[in-house]
Amino acid sequence: MKLLRNLFVIIFLFAVFVPFGNAEEKRVRWKLAMTWGPTLHPFVDTVENMADMVETMSGGNFVIRIDASNIHKSPFGVFDMVKLGQYEMGHTASYYWKGKDMSFLPLTTMPFGMTTPEQYAWFYYGGGMELMQKAYEKNGMLSFPGGNTGNQMGGWFRKEINSLDDLKGLKMRIPGFAGQVLAKLGVTVTNIPPGELYTSLERGTIDALEWVGPGMDINMGFHKIAPYYYTGWHEPATELQFLVNKKAYDKLPEKYKEILKVAMKTAAYDMYIQNYHMSANAWSTMKEKYPNIKVKTFPDEVLNAMKTSYNELLSKYKKENALFKEIMESKEAYLKKARDWTYISDYLYLKSMSDTE
């Protein structure tokens, strides 16, 4: 992938710079604020890859400085910092801003929804990008896909979940629409910055949490405290976002706008591949290295209740927020045709392989 990226940069540089001869290029210096700390891979890698590509493709004239959350001290303040122009860019997740506008929520992922390939197809070819800009432009920003985690695991729990009663009173870190689904089932839901997750679990502030998948989770050490590791239902295609202040973007030369868009798109997809690789590696050694981890799937009773809760909330917010309704109906219409192909191309392929083993 690194070789492919380097080859792409060379081709793009040739295409961009040859027509302009030796004309003096405008120098641009931007700042980017991340929700994440400096060691949270592959999220940080994605931002660094994007910034490196922008600098290389601009011949060193367009440079983006990256500030992790330990620098700006406001992991959940990225939206406002970019909106106000304190930073030209941000790297975060849209579902953190549901308190500002519910229409941001489905731009990250939705429970029981699209897989990553389905969602990327919707973003780039099914009208998703236009709807995302519609949500952000009224806040003086643009938004672009910023890297996908793939299907996430359902979380780490101190105790096994055998019935709906086991959810009642449970304190859990889980953001997005899934958090509201579980709150409806009696879970006390909270959102905690990534850098505080382990200590919150260790101190008993929370009883359970969901993060990403084994590639990122094992390094965080959650299994030492909460050994029950549940398969996913809630975030099948979690897309991070690059936020861009629109006034700053509009001032860029057209060539720099194209460079930025190409770099963001390339880095975003590379994160999806990198995270898949990390999780595959971690999963292959997890049982041997960490025998205390107990992989579980939620009982049918619990999953059915989650789906019922999801449908009730979905109906409620469609009535309350016109743009949320527009985005969800666009995703639902696209998924209706895309899922048939996913079933044929992926599910039945995997099933046929397992049947012949």
The one-character DSSP state at 21 is T
Question: CA angle, 200 as apex, 199 and 202 as ends, to 5°?
Answer: 60
Q: Can you name the residues that pair with 145 across neighbouring β-strands?
A: 241
Query: Positive or negative, the Cα torsion across 92, 116, 236, 318?
Result: positive
> Has 288 been labeled as part of a binding site?
no
Q: Return the closest-CA partner of residue 177 out of 310, 325, 331, 322.
A: 310
> Has 235 been labeled as part of a binding site?
yes
Q: Return the closest-CA partner of residue 213 out of 229, 197, 193.
A: 229
Is residue 193 within 8 Å of 76, Cβ to Cβ?
Answer: yes
- The phi, psi pair for 330, rounded to 5°, reads -65, -45
The one-character DSSP state at 213 is -
Q: Return the closest-CA partner of residue 242 out of 39, 96, 74, 33.
A: 33
Is residue 67 within 8 Å of 31, Cβ to Cβ?
Answer: yes
Q: How many CA atoms lie within 13 A of 344 on its CB side?
A: 4
> Has 210 been labeled as part of a binding site?
yes
Please name the helix (run of DSSP H) or strand (run of DSSP E) that holds residue 216, with its range, or none: helix 214-220
- The phi, psi pair for 221, rounded to 5°, reads 80, 15
> Has 160 been labeled as part of a binding site?
no
Residues in the chain: 357
Burial of 307 (0-12, 13-18, 19+ CB in 10 A): middle
Cα–Cα distance for residue pair 268/145, rounded to 1 Å: 6
Annotated binding-site members for Na(+): 211
Annotated binding-site members: 152, 173, 210-211, 235
Annotated binding-site members for substrate: 152, 173, 210, 235
